[in-house]
Amino acid sequence: MAAQPLNPQGTVGIPLTRAIGDAFRKLNPRWMMHNPVMFVVEVGSVFTTLDAVRLLIEGKAGLFNFTLQIAIWLWLTVLFANFAEAIAEGRGRAQAQALRSTRTDTMASKIGADGTLTKVAGTELRKGDRVMIAAGEIVPSDGIIIEGAASIDESAITGESAPVIRAAGGDTNTVTGGTRVLSDQITVEITANPGETFLDRMISLIEGAARQKTPNEIALAILLAGLTLIFVVVVLTIEPFAVFSGNTVSVTILIALLVCLIPTTIGGLMSAIGISGMNRLLKKNVLAMSGRAIEAAGDVNVILLDKTGTLTIGNRMATEFIPMEGVDERELGEMALLSSLSDETPEGRSIVALARDRFGFETTERDLVGANFHEFSAQTQMSGIDMDSRQIRKGSSKAVPAFVEECGGTVPTKQLDEVVTRIGKLGGTPLVVAEGRRTLGVIYLKDVVKPGISERLSSLRAAGIRTVMITGDNPITAETIAKEVGVDEFLAQATPETKLGYIQKEQAEGYLVGMVGDGTNDAPALAQADVAVAMNSGTQAAREAGNMVDLDSNPTKLLDIVEIGKQILITRGAMTTFSVANDVAKYFAIIPAMFVVVFPGLQALNVMHLTSPESAVLSAVIFNAIIIPLLIPLALRGVRYKPVGAATILRNNLFIYGLGGLVLPFVGIKLIDLLVTALHLVSLHA
Amino acid sequence: MTVPGVLGILVFTAFLVVMAKPMGLYLYAVYDRRKTWFDPAIRPVERVIYRWTGVNEDHEMRWTEYFIALLAFNLVGFIVLYIALRIQGALPFNPMHMKDVGPHLAFNTGVSFTTNTNWQAYGGESTMSYASQAMLMMQQFLSPISGLAMVLAFIRGLTRKNANTLGNFWVDLVRTLLWVSLPMAFIGAIVLVGLGNPQNWGTYVTAHTLQGGIQTIAQGPVGMMNSIMQLGDNGGGFFNMNAGHPYETATAASLMFQMVLGFSIPVGLTYYFGKVVKDTRQGWTILGAMLVMFLGGTLVLYHAEALGNPILNHLVGIHGPNMEGKEVRFGPALSSLFESSTTAVSWGSTAAANDSLMPIGGLITLWQMMSGEVIIGAWGVGLLGMLAFAVLAVFLAGLMVGRTPEYLGKKIGSYEVKMAVLAMIVPTFVILGFSAWAVTSHGGLAGIYNPGPHGLSEVLYAYSSGVGNNGSAFGGLDAAAPFYTWTVGLAMLFGRFAMYIPALAIAGSLVQKQSVPESAGTFPTHGFLFGGLLIATVVIVGALVFFPALSLGPLAEHFALWSGHLFGGGGA
């Protein structure tokens, strides 16, 4: 079950006013320096504003009007970009706020060296301290249960309201600070110092999302800065060329051209894309330790998936009754039912369900008055029931025949072996059923593939990602299941060492490996994998080895993570391509406007037939500004990702964002020009 | 445009495609150390050279060592050439008693010939002794090899995994010289002599014309030099008039052959590239993108020339194509093809006066150089530039498939992007920066013979030719004036070295990386889609930045001309 999103109101609950306020606060040049592209726009805005003031003082009303409007739109360009960033940050902040409110100043009962309890503040607890937590109390910090078991409400962290059982020993011994003990009493050894707890890290990660740039972001930022530098030189050299040609170009128009040419669209939206990607992951209840990990997820070529729990439903289910010769299938079914009515294991329940389903039995546990139930144990390898002098048993293909022989019966060895071997080869588990001296037949227990898994795996294959099933089964069994599930490869009889070795081998060949794990024995492999998702329900060791934690502990989440990782990269690439392709139209809007006075022939380049030089420049600047807020929803949502081959994605996205980026501004600038003309915003004389 | 003209251009382009594979296979054999016909004769020579020079054939170089070797080789070449030119008068083989070359011109010429630019701020037959011409010829032999070596190293960077080294510069140099330059130049020279080039070491001939005038007819080892310069895409012609001179190009057939020579190595390298990366589609895609741009440019240029000059048409009644500055024996179609090729392949020799092309014709020649000389381009450097653009295209659009961009399995990180941006910045800065300086400074303005937009075109052309290591001249500019000898000289140096340090640095970084095996999730860098993307990147990122400057130059002139406006005055 997917849990509730961390913060349900997170998507709509950001106060818009706050984001607008932030947009202005971010105008501080020290902040703007982080983003060279937008910094250049801000400097340009300052210059045009000063120019407008100068024109006002000199009393040149017409030029002042034009310059002022350009200045306003340039400021808006900067503000729009800041606004986009502020909105994305606001979402993260809201989520962090929700988390912070759960971190209360709990008092904890610390166990002293002599065993006495002292009340201390939860924030004072350090690694190695032991605390006693009773029902109704809040767990003061992260730790491991060393004594007792309790049901715990983890909704503060996971949003999942159903309580979970945590107990000392085994793989479910961890407790997280901020969760609430519902029943019983536990002794916990604290494993985190103040400020390093899971909750602390979570909050700082969400809030700090904007600060850490991923490798791809850094590379893109360099490219954008380089392009900006080139365009600065292009625009700076226009003036000398113009002077040589007997023309002068106003500073305002030069700045307008510069702002239009530098990649403001992607420059303005880049951080919003990254932050919102992190937020989308959080909404899926996955906590990434860094943005780098999310992007690496998009790059993953190989995914290691545990068979049990990920690909198949955790337990094997009865799917078929195979009677021995001379035995009625219905009788076999009935005996299997009787032997399982008191069997609370999932296998037992599946046998009951199958028998009822197939033969319509209505017997219930209440009908077994006076019966004696034998529970399954590792020694006996079988379970069953004694009633009315009948001894019904079901169990392993060794134990049950032995039981039959013990009772004095003969086992149809040949036929039984045949059936047992066949089931084994198919990856199933055979359970032999006997009643006293008679061997009745075999129940076929089978791994059941989770619904929809095959489709997901084949879509991963289409996206060029190989899936590998990890299982402790023998190779023959593993192969059968692998075929049924549709994974590309399998790793049978997996141990921590073979898993680690497998990952290292793949990495040596140049592949990036993703993996999900929960147990302590997964930790080495998780630490080695490029993208390692640890289950929140998993051990402390697994959680520390992973670079992501899935709060829902849903092993198929890795597939979502991969998609989100890809989506972030695609969105960034699409906006970059769009931004660069936009330049063509802007050249054609502004260049003729710049020089038409001295070379009237250049009017031929005014392919959009914009009304006047002033309206052309203003329209280009307006288009350049408003495209940013128009694309904010896309930046926050991400470009849709369909798991198909790269060639198809490239073709589609190049068509939409490349060709679209080429054509759209021609249309947009023309429309804006029509509006500017209709409203007489600037001089309409050529 | 005439049907035979267009057909000729198309057939020639098709021939280039046909030529790519055999040339590429030969280059592959040479650099992959496979068997070639020449081995029995050349291999012993190669061994002797290594023994004498103390080069260890098996020594592998990191990118820095490779670059330093290359730089040292070029530096020595420059110094020797500079000194030889300065003391030319005292050296032998100077039957016409040419004087020493001045410091400005010697610097310019030295840089020009070591960077494979072969920009000539002088008239060869009136400035250079035979000894100097031979020295220049030597550089024409050696300088293209540096360019080719750079792309060899770059391709190794793409194909080797988890390695550190990019090969051995001295081995690349020697093998290219022995297996490629010498045999091909020899064959080329024989063919050219057969097609009418003189080949001798005699004094110039003085002829008495029928009108009673006296004419000095320059001659010399033309066939040899012509073959070397065309093969090496140098273009430093024997005569000032270059390929238009009847002794350099007697017939159209000779001109065609010179073009084939010029295209042979650059075109073959694209196939070689595909062969080395074990996916010939990669090479074909690069060549395809190059040829589409080349063909487009050539046809536009031809169209402009064939249409002729509207003012001459209107005022004087001269109809037909623009024949000013063209050889009648070549005609407009072949002249257009040759001038387009000379700027595209960067060989830089001219068979027509580019200054006299129609404005749109001039625009095409300019844009082919401003693209960074990646439309075919000279030995190695054209492919190198195109591969740098491919890296950039992959990074720009590659994110769109949802993976960290990778080219041929190598992930493109911030370091590679930084270096690709640096390489891209150089032509923009140099062309626009120097041109802006030229049109605003006294020294620059004094050397511009034409006013108005045409003058600007002349200046832009000079620096584009310099930074692209092209060497062709538009004319109309006092190239020998100190302002231009120095600024164009610097442009040539930047164009060669400031651009290729980052390219080699990329190779040095990529060679260390693991390669990601190809899968359905891999960004395809072959096929029409990527070819189109590559072209768009070259046009939008590489060339459109010159749009403002070009609109004040050839574009302004073009529109003015067609509206009957002239810019008067001037002239050399």
Residue with tokens 């369900």: A353
Angular region, B320: left φ>0, alpha ψ -120 to 50, beta rest: left
Percent of chain B whose pLDDT exceeds 70: 99
Q: How far is CA A64 from CA A67, A391, A592, B457, in A?
A: 5, 103, 22, 35
Angular region, B151: left φ>0, alpha ψ -120 to 50, beta rest: alpha
Q: What is the pLDDT of residue A14?
A: 54
Predicted confidence (pLDDT) at residue A458 exceeds the cutoff of 90: no
State the best of B399, B404, B425, B432 to mutate against chain A, taking most chain A CBs within 10 Å.
Answer: B399
Query: What are A654's two structure tokens?
Result: 């190049």
Q: How far apart are CA B274 and CA B155, in angstroms?
A: 10
Q: How far apart are CA A312 and CA A453, in angstroms?
A: 9
Does A653 touch chain B if contact means CB atoms closer than 8 Å? yes
Among positive and negative, which fits the CA dihedral A548, A554, A558, A561?
A: negative
Query: What are B40's two structure tokens?
Result: 């029995």
Those residues of chain B that have pLDDT short of 70 are 236-237, 568-572
Q: What is the pLDDT of residue B23?
A: 95
Q: How far is CA B266 from CA B11, B230, B259, B334, in A?
A: 18, 12, 12, 21
Residue A330 makes CB contacts below 8 A (sequence gap 6+) with: A359
Clarify whether A306 is annotated catalytic: yes
- Higher pLDDT, residue A535 or A301: A301
Angular region, B60: left φ>0, alpha ψ -120 to 50, beta rest: beta
Reported as a single tens digit per residue, the pLDDT across A473-487 is 778 778 888 888 888
Query: What are A308's two structure tokens?
Result: 């049990």
Q: Are A473 and A481 in contact (CB under 8 A)?
A: yes
Q: Are A335 and A355 in contact (CB under 8 A)?
A: no
State the best of A223, A303, A591 to mutate against chain B, taking most chain B CBs within 10 Å.
Answer: A223
- Higher pLDDT, residue A657 or A248: A657
Q: How far apart are CA B370 and CA A631, in angstroms?
A: 34
- Higher pLDDT, residue A442 or A306: A442
Q: What is the pLDDT of residue A338?
A: 86
Does A258 touch chain B if contact means CB atoms closer than 8 Å? no
Predicted confidence (pLDDT) at residue A194 exceeds the cutoff of 90: no
Q: Are A426 and A319 in contact (CB under 8 A)?
A: no
Query: What are A630's two structure tokens?
Result: 């128009």
Closest CA to A70 of A475, A617, A561: A617
Residue with tokens 């495209």: A627
Q: Any idea how long chain B is?
A: 572
Contacts of A510 in chain B (CB under 8 A): 161, 409, 514-517
Q: What is the pLDDT of residue A671?
A: 97
Q: Are A631 and A264 in contact (CB under 8 A)?
A: no
Reported as a single tens digit per residue, the pLDDT across A609-638 is 999 999 999 999 999 999 999 999 999 888
Cβ contact B523–A569 (<8 Å): no
Q: Are A536 and A619 in contact (CB under 8 A)?
A: no
Q: How far apart are CA A468 and CA A449, in angstroms?
A: 15
Cβ contact A301–B519 (<8 Å): yes
Q: How far apart are CA B483 and CA B477, in angstroms?
A: 11
Q: Are B332 and B265 in contact (CB under 8 A)?
A: no
Bridge partners (DSSP) of residue A513 are: A302
Contacts of B432 in chain A (CB under 8 A): 233-234, 237
Burial class (CB in 10 A: 0-12, 13-18, 19+), A184: middle
- Higher pLDDT, residue A149 or A666: A666
Give the H or E element holding residue B186.
helix B182-194
As a whole number, mean pLDDT of residues A310-326 equals 83
Burial class (CB in 10 A: 0-12, 13-18, 19+), A617: buried
Cβ contact B414–A222 (<8 Å): yes
For residue B524, give the nearest of A511, A587, A647 by CB distance.
A647
Q: Are B372 and B389 in contact (CB under 8 A)?
A: yes
Q: Which of A306, A343, A447, A530 is catalytic?
A: A306
Contacts of A603 in chain B (CB under 8 A): 559
Contacts of A570 in chain B (CB under 8 A): 399-402
Contacts of A220 in chain B (CB under 8 A): 395, 399, 417
Which residues of chain A from 35 to 64 reach within 8 Å of chain B, CB to CB? none
Q: How far is CA A134 from the centre of its chain?
A: 35
Closest residue of chain A to B532, computed from CA coordinates: A654
Q: How far is CA B54 from CA A107, B51, B66, in A?
A: 80, 5, 16
Does A207 touch chain B if contact means CB atoms closer than 8 Å? no
Predicted confidence (pLDDT) at residue A422 exceeds the cutoff of 70: yes
Strands (DSSP E) contained in B375-435 are 406-407, 410-411
Residue A92: strand, helix, or coil: helix
Contacts of A273 in chain B (CB under 8 A): none
Does B536 touch chain A if contact means CB atoms closer than 8 Å? yes
Tell me how crowded residue B314 is: count the other CB atoms within 10 A of its CB. Answer: 10
- Give the minimum alpha-carbon distance from A471 to chain B in angstroms, rounded to a whole number: 25
For residue A646, give the nearest of B422, B521, B555 by CB distance.
B521
Q: How far apart are CA A662 and CA A669, in angstroms?
A: 12
Q: How far is CA A388 from CA A362, A392, A441, B532, in A?
A: 19, 11, 21, 83
Which residues of chain A from 65 to 84 reach within 8 Å of chain B, CB to CB? none
DSSP B316: I
Closest CA to B402 of A266, A562, A459: A562
For residue A584, give the nearest of B520, B533, B544 by CB distance.
B544
Q: How far apart are CA B522 and CA A463, in angstroms?
A: 9
Cα–Cα–Cα angle for A376, A381, A386, nearest 5°?
55
Q: Any idea how long chain A is?
A: 686
Tell me how crowded residue B90 is: count the other CB atoms within 10 A of its CB. Answer: 8
Q: How far apart are CA A70 and CA B265, in angstroms?
A: 52
Cα–Cα–Cα angle for B65, B66, B69, nearest 5°?
85
Percentages helix, strand, coil for chain B (3-state, rounded to 5) are 65, 5, 30
Pairing of strands A466-470, A302-306: parallel
Q: How far apart are CA A390 and CA A370, in angstroms?
A: 12
Residue type, B139: Q
Number of H helices, E strands in chain B: 23, 4
Q: What is the pLDDT of residue A103?
A: 61
Pairing of strands A548-550, A531-535: parallel
Cβ contact A601–B522 (<8 Å): no
Predicted confidence (pLDDT) at residue A78 exceeds the cutoff of 90: yes
Q: Are B216 and B206 in contact (CB under 8 A)?
A: yes
What angle separates helix A251-261 from helix A61-100, to the nearest 10 degrees?
40
Residue type, A428: G
Note the helical H segments in A159-208. Answer: 198-207
- Give the minimum alpha-carbon distance from A592 to chain B in angstroms, rounded to a whole number: 8
Reported as a single tens digit per residue, the pLDDT across A119-137 is 888 778 888 888 988 888 8
Predicted confidence (pLDDT) at residue A1 exceeds the cutoff of 60: no
Does B562 touch chain A if contact means CB atoms closer than 8 Å? yes
For residue A244, give the nearest of B456, B527, B546 by CB distance.
B456
Does B143 touch chain A if contact means CB atoms closer than 8 Å? no
Closest residue of chain B to A242, computed from CA coordinates: B552
Angular region, B475: left φ>0, alpha ψ -120 to 50, beta rest: left
Q: Are B303 and B359 in contact (CB under 8 A)?
A: no
Query: What are A51's two structure tokens?
Result: 């120019």
Which residues of chain B from 220 to 259 reach within 8 Å of chain A, CB to CB? none
- A587 band by pLDDT with thresholds 50, 70 and 90: very high
Cβ contact A591–B547 (<8 Å): yes
Cα–Cα–Cα angle for B92, B98, B101, nearest 5°?
100
Contacts of A606 in chain B (CB under 8 A): none
Q: What is the pLDDT of residue A83?
A: 94
Mean predicted lDDT score pLDDT of chain A: 85
Q: How far apart are CA B166 and CA B64, in angstroms?
A: 10
Angular region, A169: left φ>0, alpha ψ -120 to 50, beta rest: left
Q: How far apart are CA A487 and CA A467, in angstroms?
A: 5
Percent of chain A whose pLDDT exceeds 70: 94
